[in-house]
A and B are shown apart, each in its own frame.
Chain A
Amino acid sequence: MPLLEIRKVSRRFGDLKALDDVSLSIEAGEFFTLVGPSGCGKTTLLRMIAGFDEPDDGELLLDGRLLAGISPEKRPVHTVFQSYALFPHLSVAQNVAFPLEMAGVGRDERRRRLAEALALVALTDKAERYPNELSGGQKQRVALARSLIDQPRVLLLDEPLAALDAKLREQIQGELIALQRKIGITFVFVTHSQQEALALSQRIAVMNQGRIEQIGAPAEIYNYPKNRFVADFIGTINLLPVEVREAAADHLRLFASGLGDLVGPPAATARPGQHGVLALRPEQVGIVAGVPAQELGNHFQGRVRDYLYLGDVTVYKVALDNGVIVEALVANSLPGPTRFLERGDPVGIAWRRDAGVYLHD
């Protein structure tokens, strides 16, 4: 039985469908992420799990028990808010011990668990500080310790890293994964950053306009996006307009107007005559000066339109003969200064027959 089950949940605000027939189940101990553009309904769903909102349709179950009508303070669920929501008049120790005090836990027990919780987030020496005396990262850790001290069944995190700068964010991502593994509490993490979702999660649900577009492990979502929204939202991707010529069990024959024939991986939904796109990750596209090697299966001519040097990699934008622009990612793995193909250089691009995903319109 899943720990948390969301069944056909909908929520309307006036004409707006903030959640539209959302179903998902989360297993105990999972690090589960809801990702999607801002306004797609992530916070609305979290607030329902926490008990601050109720669905118009559908139901939520925790441990097989219906959550309807149970007030937030009675749910074994805690939230780490984006603003951290620390109590400004209480010290770090008082903030962290707050749930125990509300539950009437005895003094000795409280002290022992407070020490544990502070140690867990390495804030033992800051116990007497007040929230206004802490850095963003420290506040974040206080909020975590406060939400974990009474061991909830589920911890909800609503964009907890959005307010931190990039370097700190990366560091805390690592800490979060380690922390979750150590304590084994189920995390439901919300973010609009696909990078964060990929880096942190065991499973991801991609949301768009109140609907769930796809649920799966990070590598599954990245490599096999189910539709154009997911393909486009997660990572960068080239979308090459194609027409299906032949759908075989082990490959597809495709035709791109202005380019010619190409070969793609099999797709169950593809039918001859159908129009769609071949979605290709930039790192799957090879680029060479001059004429490309033939053995990869798909090779075309083009010219360098532009490039972006990112240090570890360089992203080339190549204009193909039919006007379509394809991004190719080149690892700068050779020692010494990188030598670039210049703008306007004729190049060849190539990719494997089994690379990419066919998505019909």
Chain B
Amino acid sequence: MKRGAPGLWAAALSVYAFLYVPLAIVVLFSFNDSMLSAEWVGFTTRWYATLFADQQMLDAAANSLFIALSAASLSTVLGTMAGLAMARRRSAWLGGLPLLVLGPVAMPELLLGVSLLLFFRQVLDLTLGLLSILIAHVTFSIGFVAVVVRSSLAMLDESIFEAARDLGASSWQTFRHVTLPLIRPAVLAGFLMSFTLSIDDFVITFFVAGVGVTTLPLQIYSLIKVAVTPEINAVSTLLMALTLTLIALAAKLAPDALKGRL
């Protein structure tokens, strides 16, 4: 084994510190037994109790969960279909599909937020609320699902789908018995990613939420405009834990999806 130069180690450590120390501080102070986030007083879980007694916060969380689940489900279905179509790029016009689907992924969030707002207000004449947030979230999630599904298909020998037809499977049986089982991990990973993107989203939601409806990130933002309370640290910690868990799960599913089976 080669050992890295000490300088490299130090550089790597400082990058990780830069990334994770602020997060660690949030987690730490969510257990701090003091109203002020300045110094460590002692361990407590009372901010979590406060959090779960805060009706506004709970309403926001319920909205977030509802939107995330619905948006993730919808984008998974639509994104999987797009991914399948992209993998079968037989016709010329499907060649442009990857770019179209990935557009929202690469677009600056601010731009997407503004354009969706204009679209909902000027074109659809939609009242802003849960539905507009849901549509917006689906818009930026589809691309992620499509890409994961497509790359899982790209790893497969294309002739297995013909083999299925050749051996007597109808198109539906081929999808049901061959395609779906093989892309299932990718579909699941796509769902988890969409869920995470939706539940964490602030910028786009901010534009399309309207006045009546609030989500968790919006609620946190409206609170810190006043002051950073330990309760905000607590909700951030929970959100962070959820996000990290889902991302880790998705990362485990997607690249390792077919390992040991190919």
**Interface: B168 (CB within 8 A):** yes
Choose one: A73, A87, A146; the contact of B178 (CB below 8 Å).
Answer: A87
Inter-chain CB contacts under 8 Å: number: 69
CB interface residues, A 100-131, toward B, < 8 Å = 101-103, 130-131
Closest chain A residue, CB of each to CB of B260: A132
**A98 and B167 contacting across the interface, CB-CB below 8 Å:** yes
What are the residues of chain B within 8 A of A203 when measuring CB–CB?
none
Closest chain A residue, CB of each to CB of B262: A88
Closest chain A residue, CB of each to CB of B181: A89
**Interface: A150 (CB within 8 A):** yes
What are the residues of chain B within 8 A of A102 when measuring CB–CB?
167-170, 173, 177
Closest chain A residue, CB of each to CB of B159: A85
Closest chain B residue, CB of each to CB of A72: B165
**Contact-residue size bin, chain A (C-beta under 8 Å from the other chain):** 20 to 34
Instruction: Kindly state the separation between the CA atoms of A360 and B173 in the bound complex, as whole angstroms.
Output: 56
What are the residues of chain B within 8 A of A141 when measuring CB–CB?
none
Choose one: A52, A73, A85; the contact of B160 (CB below 8 Å).
Answer: A85
**Interface: A81 (CB within 8 A):** yes
Q: How far apart are A157's CB and chain B's nearest CB, in angstroms?
A: 12
**B159 and A83 contacting across the interface, CB-CB below 8 Å:** yes
Instruction: Kindly state the separation between the CA atoms of A200 and B156 in the bound complex, as whole angstroms.
Output: 32
Binding site secondary structure of chain B = helix
CB interface residues, A 40-97, toward B, < 8 Å = 50-52, 71-73, 77-79, 81, 83, 85-89
Choose one: A85, A86, A99, A147; the contact of B162 (CB below 8 Å).
Answer: A85
Number of residues on chain B facing chain A (CB within 8 A): 22
**A86 and B168 contacting across the interface, CB-CB below 8 Å:** no
**Interface: B258 (CB within 8 A):** yes
Given contact pairs A73-B170, A102-B173, A88 touches B165 in the complex (Cβ within 8 A): no
Closest chain B residue, CB of each to CB of A75: B166
**Interface: B81 (CB within 8 A):** no
Given contact pairs A85-B160, A88-B262, A73 touches B166 in the complex (Cβ within 8 A): yes
**A88 and B156 contacting across the interface, CB-CB below 8 Å:** yes
Instruction: Kindly state the separation between the CA atoms of A150 and B215 in the bound complex, as whole angstroms.
Output: 58
Choose one: A51, A89, A130, A146; the contact of B167 (CB below 8 Å).
Answer: A146
**B182 and A88 contacting across the interface, CB-CB below 8 Å:** yes
CB interface residues, B 180-210, toward A, < 8 Å = 181-182
Instruction: Kindly state the separation between the CA atoms of A77 and B167 in the bound complex, as whole angstroms.
Output: 8
**Interface: B15 (CB within 8 A):** no
Closest chain A residue, CB of each to CB of B182: A89
Instruction: Kindly state the separation between the CA atoms of A277 and B230 in the bound complex, as whole angstroms.
Output: 98
**B261 and A99 contacting across the interface, CB-CB below 8 Å:** no
**B261 and A132 contacting across the interface, CB-CB below 8 Å:** yes
What are the residues of chain B within 8 A of A51 when measuring CB–CB?
166
**B160 and A87 contacting across the interface, CB-CB below 8 Å:** yes
Task: A88-B160, A88-B258, A88-B261 are known; give 17 further A-B pairs, CB within 8 A.
Answer: A51-B166, A52-B166, A73-B165, A79-B162, A81-B163, A85-B157, A85-B160, A85-B162, A88-B262, A89-B261, A98-B164, A98-B167, A102-B168, A102-B169, A103-B168, A130-B261, A146-B167
What are 12 contact pairs spanning A and B, CB under 8 A?
A: A50-B166, A72-B165, A72-B166, A73-B168, A77-B166, A79-B166, A85-B160, A88-B258, A88-B261, A89-B178, A101-B177, A102-B173
Give the interface of A toward B (CB within 8 A).
50-52, 71-73, 77-79, 81, 83, 85-89, 98-99, 101-103, 130-132, 146-147, 150
